[in-house]
Structure formats: C-alpha cells, structure tokens
Structure 1
C-alpha cells in the first residue's frame, strides 16, 4: 500500500511541475524545510570535521539512513609536508558526496544526487559525473543516480534539471550513456547486463531525439540555448553577465558533438553486451561519421584547435576547453592530437598552476568569472581522459596530480570544496560569478558555490584511477600508476569500501613498490610508471 501511495504522490508532484500553481509555492518550501532538519545533523558532523574537532567521517547509523552499509574509501598519505592535504581533502569529498545524496522521495523513486546545497534538483550532466564519484564507494548508488535522470525524462528527452515542482525545457550534455558504461564495466557480468537492459532503451530513444531536434544538416550538433551547454557565459556564447547571448541553434559545437560521439560509443558497447549486433554496428558507424564531420568542419589548421562553426561556415575563434574535448571522444588523428596536447601543457595556455582553465589564458577575453577562465573539474576531467586515450599517460598523471593538489589545497586553506577554481592560486578570493548580473548575485552569490560535490568530487576518482591507476573490470583488478616525480617519497594507502587495500610508494622517479590486500591475502609488487600490474580477481 505504501509503495502505491508513493507512486501516486510522485504522479501528483509531476502534474504540479507541469502546472506550477499556488500549491507548489506552499508545498515546495514546506517539503524542503523538513529535509533541512535532517541535513542539519549531517552538516554538523561535516563542520566539526572541518574544524578538526572530529575526523571527517560519518557514523554507521547515519550512513544507514540513506541505505549505505559501508564507509567510503579512506586515503592516508605520508612522506611529505603536503601529504595530509590529500588525505583530508579526499575525506571531505566523500562527506559532501553523502550529504548531497537524496533519499527516494516525491521527486524520484530512486536515490538521487544534488550538486550542492544551492542546487536542489536532479541535473543531467552533473549526475553523470557524480555517479563516477559514487562508483568507488557504492555502485548501486551510482546506478540510481543515473536511473533518477532517466525516470524524470520528458518523453524521450532527458531534462536539463528537474526539481520537486519545476522542470526544464532544455536538455544538457548527453553523458549518461558514457557514465552508465563506466559503471557497467565495474560490475559482475550478470549485474552489468541487467543494468544495461534497464538503461539502454531509454538512452537509445534519447539519441534518436537528439538526432531529430539537435542535429544540423551537416551531421553535427548544436545547442538550443547557451544554458543547455552547461557553460553558458563562455565567451564563445555570451558576454560576462549574459546580457548579450549568441544565437547558437545553428552553430555546430565541438563539445556537443564530442559528447554525442561518447554517447554513440557507449550505446554501441551496450548493444554488443546485449547481443544486438546490428545495433552495435549502426551506433559505431554513426560515431565515426560524426568524428569525420568534426575533423572536416570544426578543425582549424592554423590554430590547431577545434572551433564552433556558425551558420555562415565561419569558425568562432575563441580557444576554450571545448576546443580540447574532441580528444576525449577520440576525434583527432595522432598529429592533431599532438598539437592539442602541446597547447594543453603550455603554461601560457592551459598548463596553469591548477591546470585546464575553461578559457585559454592567452585569450584577451580570459577573466576569472565562471566559464570565462576558472578551472572546472568536470571539463578538466574530460581532457585528462582524452590524454589517456591517446597514450599521454605521464602528462595525464602530472595534470591530475596538480588538479587534485589544487582542489585539496584550497580546502586546506578555506575549508570548502567549490564549484570552480582559480587557475593561478590556491584561494578563491579573485573569482566572480557573472559579474554585473544582479539576479545571479542575488540567488547564487558573487563567487563559486560551496560544498559542491558535485563534479568537483571527481578529484577523488582521478586520484584512484589516474594517479594510483586502479581499474576494476568484471571483478578483475589491475594497477597502472601514473604518479609524477613530485610524488616521490610519498606513501599512499587506500582502503576501499569493498575491502581491498592498496599501499603504493614512489621509490624513485617512475618506479613504485607496494602491496594489494584483499580477503586477508597480500600481494606485493614493484612496477614502473604506466606499467600494468594484474592484482587478480574475486574483488567487486
């Protein structure tokens, strides 16, 4: 009976989202007020941890309130002055990840994630990234975070954002399929197939929707509005305060087209796992066609970058992180990839203290305002994935180390995990949020949002997967460390939620020794940078 009541209540709330009447104005604040009382307990624990009064951890009974039965991964780093910066920042990310997890409620029948306290809704691309942070703690939660996005779709369209009583007319970067396949690879075979069977039909229909509503005649993809891109005040789209916005509906976008390629690749792999050979081949062929058109139309040979292409066939010549994302999707050939990597590593372009700013530092329009210059961990994560895809593993490790050290270092100074970061400093005092836009200042403040985990939590995923190099595929564990020379002398001990324990020490540049312990069995090893160590199976 309770299950039927919950389903009926969610249907009522969905109807209210469509009508937005006086009922929503009354019930919305009341419902959020009840939630707030529970979250006071969570935030009091986190605040005490930040002040050093308690470890940054949550008791088992509090975890159980949200259906969690294991503590999060725990990291201990020793050997240098800054070692504790990594340990405490890593713990804070998981504490905030838990705080921002919502139980099944009137909004969704699944547990779902909000990016931060100021963003109390289910966001499409945020959820895709948040699921990758959850994947190393609780894979079922990671799945539910994505299933909530699919449940809240409008027809075949995945919505930009849905709250208890509002919905969006837009979509957002189509990254759920990519995220779902990353989760599926970590699951035992039968569980992976079951998950794929749940998500594949919906994601297949979403791809068809994009082809109908967002694909241009040239085969590439265009945003309906800058807000749909997630990077709305980027100089390729608008001015700083968004008082002037470009019409993007006919502008082929390198980021959107890259995300579609990632979705098509994921759909192809899903179809293969389900034994749908014809669909596997069809999606793979579509991905190759988009790659070909991107190389033919969006690449600028003079600048060595991918640019937006307007309706007149003219490139929008602004070097932003969108120009680099085709690496993630495997678009460029080796020589074009080399030119992109050179730009990424150059300090005057993207190789800053905290690397991979949202706009090239050499651009005249670079400024420390939202998507006009600050570092966003999600797009930086995508670029690092691109480096790995093309075999630039040393470079990926160096950038991941500096990105993690930057986010954790700012936490050490300011006791906050933020929405975006200053590429040149371990503080946020110079950052702005759409300066001149009074409405954004009133509703979201003048700088980056705090407690944003959120995609900023991807630093933990980068540390586990890129720096330490752990990978799990159908229960088999491998290690491929990429810690840079700066990490020499540091000892990293990672205790995973499922019971595995990794110890890794840099004994010289590019040389490591360590051990892997699971079920009381310890395996010792010595290895080199980007050299794979098979740690065995039976852990998942």
Structure 2
C-alpha cells in the first residue's frame, strides 16, 4: 500500500508584498484627502536624491551640455527596451524649439515612471516630481503619451490605478502615506480601450480581459454613488473633478467651496459617456456581447440626457445644473467636453465650434483656456483661465469626431508649439500655460491660499508631463495623423499654413520606422524607411497615405482621414 507523502513546503512569502499590504491597510485606516505633508515633503526630497542621476542628466541637457537622451542601461533599469520617439525639426523659425521640447517631454516621462515599490506591485507614473502618488486621470493621460513609446509601460501605468482601487472605487490619489476618499474623472477605461486599439489582437484581448471586470464594476459603483435622479452625474467634492478652483466650484483660493453633490456636472457626465463607450468596446473585444450592448445602450441614453438637460440655447453651450435645475452660467472648458463624448447634433456642434475658434472666447493665442477669455471670471490662476493640455486634447478629439479637421489641426499646432516655445524660453515643461503669451510670468496657483503656496508654490508645477506630454501626441496624432491601430501604419498630414516649410525627421523605434517629410502649401512630400525598405511619397492636405503600401510599391490614393475619439 502506497503511503501519501506530505506536500512540499511552500516558499516563504517575499517581504515586499507583505510590506505593501501592510502599508495599504495603514493608508486605508487613515483615509482623507488633506493631511499634514511633512512626511510627504521628506519623501520627495529623498526621491530627488535617489533619482539624481536621471534628473541631473536632464538638467545638463537643458543647459546644452548633452542631448536630452538617456542611455540604454538606464532605460533597462525601468524595463524600457527601446529608445523613445525622436524628432528633428528644420527649416522653420520654431524648428529648434520643436526638437528640444519634443525630446524633453519623453525624458521627463521616463524620469517620472516609477518602478514597482511599496506603493504598487507594478510600474506606475507620477505626474511630476511634486506629486508623488498614483493619480487617476493623470495616469489615463500619461498612458496615452507612453503608448507611442512603449505600450507595456502604458498598460502598467493604467493597471496601477486599477490595482490600488478601494473596493470597486478607483481612487483620486494614493501615495505611500495616504489615500483619498474620492474618485476622479473616470478615464482609465477610455485610455485602456485606445491602447488596446494599437496592439495586435492577442495582446489587446489579454489587456481587456485583465482589467474589464474591475472597470465594469467601477462604472456600477459610480451609478450607485454619483448618479442623480436625472440620470446625470455629480461630483461628491470639487476635488473629484480635478478642476477644483474653477469658478463653477469655488473662488480663487478655495476658501469658499460649493457643495457639488446635487449639481449635475457636464464634464462628469461626458466622461461617463466615454467610459461607457470604452467598456462596450472592451467587452466586444473579449466576446462579451451582452455586456457590450448594455454599456453601448447606457452611453446613448446618457448622451440624450446631457443634450436635453444641460444644453443652454441662449448661450450655445452646455452648463452644469444646480439642485433647482438652474444653469451655472460660466463658460469653462467643461462646456465643450460634450463634443468629445459625441453628445450634440450637427447644429449644436457648429455653435460650439464657433465659440472654440473665436479669438475672444476659446480661440486664444494658446487655445482652449480653462475659462473663456471673455468670461468675467477669467483670471490667470489654475482652472480659472490658464490652458491645460488634457482638457484641450479632449476638445480637439471632439473636433475631429465631428469632422472639423482643419480646426483641430490649427489648434493642435498652436498648443504644441506653444508648449515647445515656452520650454525654449524657460527650459521647463509646466502643468498649465498662459492663453495669451508664451511665458509663465503672470500665472498663479490658487492665489491667496497660503497652504498651497507653502506646499506647492505660487505658480505652475515644473517637470510636469502628467498631461502636458500630450503636446507630443498632438503632433503625432493630429498634425501628422499617424494611425498605428492594429497592423495599420498610416499617415494623414494636416500641418497648417503656419507650419509651411517645416521639415521633420521622425524615428519611431517601436515600429522601426524613419519618416521624413516637408510641409508644403497644401500637403507634404517625404520618404519612409522600415526594415531595409525605403520609398518616397507625397500627400495632399488631409489625405491618407498607407505607409506599408508605399514601402511595397503601391498607394491607397488620396482617401480622407478618419475621425478619432
């Protein structure tokens, strides 16, 4: 008779996961959004020392001592196998600024990528050196910048937010020492769905399967805890919105915050539409057709509610509605976000676009300010007037969705070149920008709030690529119209008149692609090289070039560019 042997001893659990769980329990026990930051400031100081090599190389690059590039060994230390996209601009007054600013964004993107540590079991991203935590909507946009360089890093950045959820709630922010009781704009599913479109089918399916259930449960949590009887959504606190000192919610220094729990928020409701659309796409990708149909139907129903309840016919904008149903009449960037979510019909979209392009409103020199330039409450203080690249990027995607391609390209050029010009002048990438001038001397951060001045300074944060890195996306996605979804490799240039004569040499290591082009009056001429093949091409403004076809001796002709969301 055979005797049953004892099971082999299990290896002892490694100490890092145990410490991570213990720290998580400690954070959870002390949940609150505001707490003394002495420990946090000590941690930031130590982190600067820890990353001294990275930051000193970037600083040297700013001073001209070396290119703003990082060696392969340093990249490998954070799991990055390839160099970032590289751009050389020429034959244009802004060529030097474009070259340097493009490189700086990727250098900072890498510097702000964190390895797995006590906070997270996966790589994660901080928006900037002063914000040492995992932030919800920052991570959604950071992943979009990473997807042009390393999609696996983008996926990790998103997964860190999912991993650090509290039950079904995705958290506003989690640091080593505290976590927030709130949520934030729900854009992780949107970012994940866009990333999945870029990947080959097996990788895209694996990505969707990994996070779909958690993101689907998060949508249910929002419906239970943030949805009003009208079917629209309300922020529990202005800090949830990410735009807390906007005139919709508070005064400049936040000494008077509105109670937002009964205010139907146009931005929140629009973000939820984007999340529902993304969940439908992710569900379809993994074969869950019932879930896909359900979420798509919910998205359409919410679009109709936004359009019927939040549109203001007199002003031609979407506004929040307070508990009594009255519009909160202040023209902010939130009034334009339904365009991104596909809410308005063609006539209402046209009225929004008129406001977007008007120089006295949202069409400023550096366009899409957080509050309309002609709004009485406009001022150069955070969300009360300065330009933020994340919301501006969403509005530009909305313009493209409705076919306003020239307008989108014009605004994209002014935005990304504005970021690059400020970097050329001040050698810094900032979290927000002046809508009228290419410098930051007149900008403020919650002026009058002494605590914020002490902890974060009086102006915009520096080395911030939490979403300012989207300037590079605007160049790649909107101005060049690069489409890397699935197996496609297409170009649809829409460089405006102001870019005429600009020469660009773009290397994309992820695709082993070298693209050279020169902008002419109504299109581009150029060449493409990949895997030992090279070919020349030309394209009219807004015409699609299939670069794979060009490399193999054929073209698609001048087909129109596709819209994008």
Task: Give TM-score scaled by structure 2 length.
Answer: 0.92
Shift of residue 6 of structure 1? 2.1
* Alpha-carbon displacement from aligned partner over 1:168-224 (angstroms, at most 9, x marks no partner): 000000000000011101101000000000010000000000000000001100000
Tell me what 1:447 maps to: 459
Is the Cα–Cα contact under 8 Å of residues 495 and 523 in structure 2 kept in the other structure? no
Q: How much does 1:33 deviate?
A: 5.6
Residue 18 of structure 2 corresponds to which residue in structure 1? Answer: 8
Shift of 1:29: 7.0
State the match for 2:514 in structure 1. Answer: 501
Instruction: Give the aligned partner of residue 138 of structure 2.
Output: 126
Distance in 1, matches of 2:189 and 2:388, equals 21
Shift of 1:413: 0.5
Alignment root-mean-square deviation, CA: 1.8
Residues 2/341 of structure 1: CA separation in 2 closer, same or farther (3 Å cut): farther
Secondary structure at the counterpart of residue 476 of structure 1: coil
1:57 maps to: 69
CA contact (8 A) 2:44 2:130 kept: no
The 8 Å contact of residues 123 and 160 in structure 1, kept in 2 or not, is answered as yes
Q: Which moved more, 1:387-396 or 1:526-535?
A: 526-535
Give CA deviations for 1:8-45 in whole Å, capped at 9, x if unaligned: 12111112212459xx9998777656543331111100
Q: Which residue of 2 aligns with 1:308?
A: 320
Runs (4 or more) in structure 1 with deviation over 4 Å come to: 24-34
| Partner deviation per Cα, 1:143-190 (whole Å, 9 max, x = no partner) | 000000000000000000000110000000000000001110110100
Distance 1:411-1:2 versus aligned 2 partners, 3 A rule = farther
Task: Say which is worse superposed, 28-37 or 190-199, in terms of deviation.
Answer: 28-37
Matched, 1:17 2:59: no
**1:210 maps onto 2:222 in alignment:** yes
Deviation of the 1:435 alpha carbon: 0.6
Q: 2:149 aligns with which of 117, 123, 137?
A: 137
Q: Based on CA coordinates, which of the two structures has the bigger radius of gyration?
A: 2
Task: Give the superposition deviation at 1:422.
Answer: 0.3
Maintained 8 Å contact 1:86/1:405:
yes
Q: Distance in 2 between matches of 1:447 and 1:36?
A: 20
Check whether the contact 1:475–1:537 (CA below 8 A) recurs between aligned residues: no
Equivalent residue for 2:412, pick from 400, 417, 420: 400
CA contact (8 A) 1:159 1:169 kept: yes
Please give the secondary structure, in 1, of the residue aligned with 2:435.
coil
Q: Say whether the 8 Å CA contact 1:138–1:497 is kept in structure 2.
A: no
Q: What SS does the corresponding residue of 2:397 show, helix, strand or coil?
A: helix
Unaligned runs of 5+ in 1: none
Q: For residues 32-65 of structure 1, what are the alpha-carbon distances to aligned partners after superposition, in whole Å with 9 as ceiling and x for unaligned?
A: 5654333111110000000011101111111111
SS in 2 for 1:115: coil
CA deviation vs aligned residue, 1:286-313 (integer Å, no higher than 9, x gap): 0011000011100001100000011101
Alpha-carbon separation, structure 1, partners of 2:322 and 2:468: 32
Which of 43, 49, 54 is equivalent to 1:42? 54
> Are the counterparts in 1 of residues 44 and 129 from structure 2 also a CA contact under 8 Å?
no
Residue matched to 2:88: 76
The TM-score with structure 1 as length reference comes to: 0.97
**3-state SS, counterpart of residue 191 of structure 1:** helix
